[in-house]
Chain A
Amino acid sequence: MKKTPHLVHWLWWLPVAWLGWHMLDWAVLQATFRPDLAACRAVMHDGACWGVVQVKGMAWLFGRYPEAERWRPALAMLAWALSLAWLLRSVWSVDSRSVAWPAAVLVLSWPAGMWLMWGPGLGLSVVDTAQWGGLPLTLLLTACSLILSAPLALGLAWARQMGPGWLSVPATAVIEVVRGAPLVMWLFMAAFVLPAWLPSAWDIGPVSRVLLVLSVFSAAYAAEILRGSLASVLKDQSEAAQVLGASWWITQRVVVLPQVLRGALPPLVSHVIGVLKDTALVMVVSLHELTGSMSLSLSGDADWRPYFLEAYLVIAALYAAMCLGVAAVGKRLESRWPAQGAQR
């Protein structure tokens, strides 16, 4: 390809510089950084009003969770972060220590953290799940729906791809029906239809209902990713394993599953990011996770309501940081466990 002349390269800088200058002017030069309403009003929208973060930040992070008890979700988030860090460290450690322990601790840290936030039997006040919100809710909806959907997705993928007709037909139906309609519709079902149908003794609360829907929705999409990868694992490999005397379960666990997971790693990482972003949708059924609690804290406050844009930008940056973090971990995992045929 021929190189474009340098003059054209320089011309590109004109619109970029213009745009950059205006953004800098708004976000920094004319901006107010103190939570000072009068100063914010004086510049109107000519400069950003970042003080809104200082005033409302805690409400965004914790939603409607009682203020005096906020240490509980904070502690839960710390526990989740530490166990995730432990798992990632063992994945990259040079000696091949088992990742089973850290993985088990990570999985168990979620119900433990939820118990701490809920609180019965711990000598703490009971905080109903309807009051949960903010970042902890976003994190636990993401992680729990991913954890719960993993076995379901494996089952659906295997049933559809390799199962006998009486298994593969219902699996196909579940996958296609769930994927056929938008998540918003399924969330409405969870919020309005499920409680009307189930006997009231079975009422599992709004968070659990939404978690159920998110898990099944995630499983249907993950099943299709795994199925694609499953189809690419050569059949003679499992035949060879069985000729060597391995049982069906051993063959799947030792020969097929590792290759399926390696092959599906890049789309699975995108799937994790997709689930994280999708949790924002639970706002439409009045669960106030990060997006919802931010929206809730500003829409009812006439003083700070005009500074929604600043709030959205901060929240968007938080999501982008989390998603890019997942993507970066995914990239490292890909190089740690390259797909079949891409080995060094």
Chain B
Amino acid sequence: MDVLAFLSQPAGFDIGETGGWLFQASEPLWQAFLVGLSNTLRVSLPALLLALLLGAALGLGRLSAAPVPRRLATLYVDTFRNVPLLVQLLMWYFLLVEWLPDPTDALPLLPGLWLSKGGLSFPWWDAAQGQWSIPVQEAFNVQGGAAVTPEFLAVALALSTYTAAFMAEIVRAAVLSVPANLLEAAETLGATRAQVRWRVLLPQAWRSAMPPMSNQVLNLIKNSSLAVAVGYPDLVSVGNTALNQTGQVMVCIGLMMGTYLLLSLLVSLVMNLLARKSRLALSA
């Protein structure tokens, strides 16, 4: 495998944000790729969780009988779906680094949770000390705990709020796709409203929501490559730097493609498992 030999050469470039990974320019190139992949996943997974929660709330909000949440959810979906993700990302980033207070005077969101231009500090398990490390405000900075950068926050917020708008539409369509007479039949058979909701509506809606949901999950992971616009070093950003440094175009593209392909296979696998589970629950 002579073509791949360059991957064990020193990378020759630093990565701005490694998420606790000790990486230096002298480490081999393949480690740089791993740092890029870990950065992609590190920002995609929390964003995904947030997007699912927000998307479900918005989707149900759009179906609500109360006019205010219904209109608010509609306004949200129409706004966030029709503005390019990049514009939203840059806007979040600008808000975070321009409008927030300096780290000398961080904003206490909750006890132990500090937000400032320097990022978000939160409590973290300190393995060396064997206890929780709680961040505190000190003269020049917030010390202790763990912290994420404003770049990370901007990417996570933009990805989750944007994707949530699309997920809301999927949730809404999935709930509406369950035939009304099915719900009426269940009620006629004496099921309570909660039973109709959880035992009849949810499994059916779940099943029809799965395929478009896995598309959105993949979109979110792929869209995390926009992070390059605010300088967050994700897989594509690292891969592009490596490509320009080494000139090994085919291998670098191949590595990126292969990684995304693997991720998409993984997502479809998980989604299929989730869908199968609901089918079993339905037939039982």
| Size bin of chain A's contact surface | 35 or more
In the complex, the chain A residue whose C-beta lies closest to that of B94 is A308
Q: A192-B244, A323-B82 are in contact. List 17 more A-B contacts (CB 8 A).
A: A9-B68, A12-B69, A16-B68, A16-B72, A180-B261, A182-B225, A182-B260, A185-B225, A185-B236, A192-B243, A193-B243, A193-B253, A278-B84, A280-B84, A284-B229, A320-B78, A324-B78
CA distance A281 to B223 in the complex (A): 11
B65 at interface by CB-CB < 8 Å: yes
Instruction: Please name 6 pairs of A and B residues whose Cβ atoms are closer than 8 Å in the assembled complex, sorted by A.
Output: A180-B260, A185-B256, A281-B84, A308-B98, A309-B95, A327-B82
Chain B, 215-248, contact with A by CB distance < 8 Å: what is the 0/1 string? 0000000110110110000001001100110000
A306 at interface by CB-CB < 8 Å: yes
CA distance A308 to B90 in the complex (A): 9
A158 at interface by CB-CB < 8 Å: no
Among the listed A188, A280, A295, which residue makes an inter-chain contact with B236, where contact means beta carbons less than 8 Å apart? A188
For B82, list chain A residues within 8 Å (CB). Answer: 273, 277, 319-320, 323-324, 327
A315 at interface by CB-CB < 8 Å: yes
For B228, list chain A residues within 8 Å (CB). Answer: 184, 284
Q: What is the minimal beta-carbon distance from B120 to any residue of chain A, in angstroms?
A: 20
A248 at interface by CB-CB < 8 Å: no
Among the listed B67, B79, B222, B249, which residue makes an inter-chain contact with A181, where contact means beta carbons less than 8 Å apart? B222
Contact flag A291-B87 (CB < 8 Å), given A12-B66, A12-B68, A184-B226: yes
CA distance A301 to B82 in the complex (A): 28
B200 at interface by CB-CB < 8 Å: no
CA distance A277 to B90 in the complex (A): 14
Query: Do A177 and B257 touch across chains, with their CB atoms under 8 A apart?
Result: yes
Query: Do B68 and A181 touch across chains, with their CB atoms under 8 A apart?
Result: no
CA distance A45 to B91 in the complex (A): 15
Q: What is the minimal beta-carbon distance from A28 to any residue of chain B, in angstroms?
A: 18
Chain A, 276-296, contact with B by CB distance < 8 Å: what is the 0/1 string? 011111011000000100010
Chain A, 20-48, contact with B by CB distance < 8 Å: what is the 0/1 string? 00000000000000000000000001000
CA distance A330 to B20 in the complex (A): 48
A81 at interface by CB-CB < 8 Å: no
A8 at interface by CB-CB < 8 Å: yes
Among the listed B83, B86, B264, which residue makes an inter-chain contact with A283, where contact means beta carbons less than 8 Å apart? B86
Majority secondary structure, A binding face: helix
Chain B, 64-102, contact with A by CB distance < 8 Å: what is the 0/1 string? 011111001000001101111111101100110011000
Q: What is the minimal beta-carbon distance from B254 to any residue of chain A, in angstroms?
A: 10
Q: What is the minimal beta-carbon distance from B267 to any residue of chain A, in angstroms?
A: 12
- Interface core residue of B87, B228, B244 (most chain A CB under 10 Å): B87
Query: Do B91 and A312 touch across chains, with their CB atoms under 8 A apart?
Result: yes
For B98, list chain A residues within 8 Å (CB). Answer: 306, 308-309
Chain B, 249-284, contact with A by CB distance < 8 Å: what is the 0/1 string? 100010011001100100000000000000000000
CA distance A312 to B94 in the complex (A): 10
Query: Do B84 and A189 touch across chains, with their CB atoms under 8 A apart?
Result: no
CA distance A316 to B256 in the complex (A): 31
Query: Do B68 and A13 touch across chains, with their CB atoms under 8 A apart?
Result: yes
CA distance A182 to B98 in the complex (A): 29
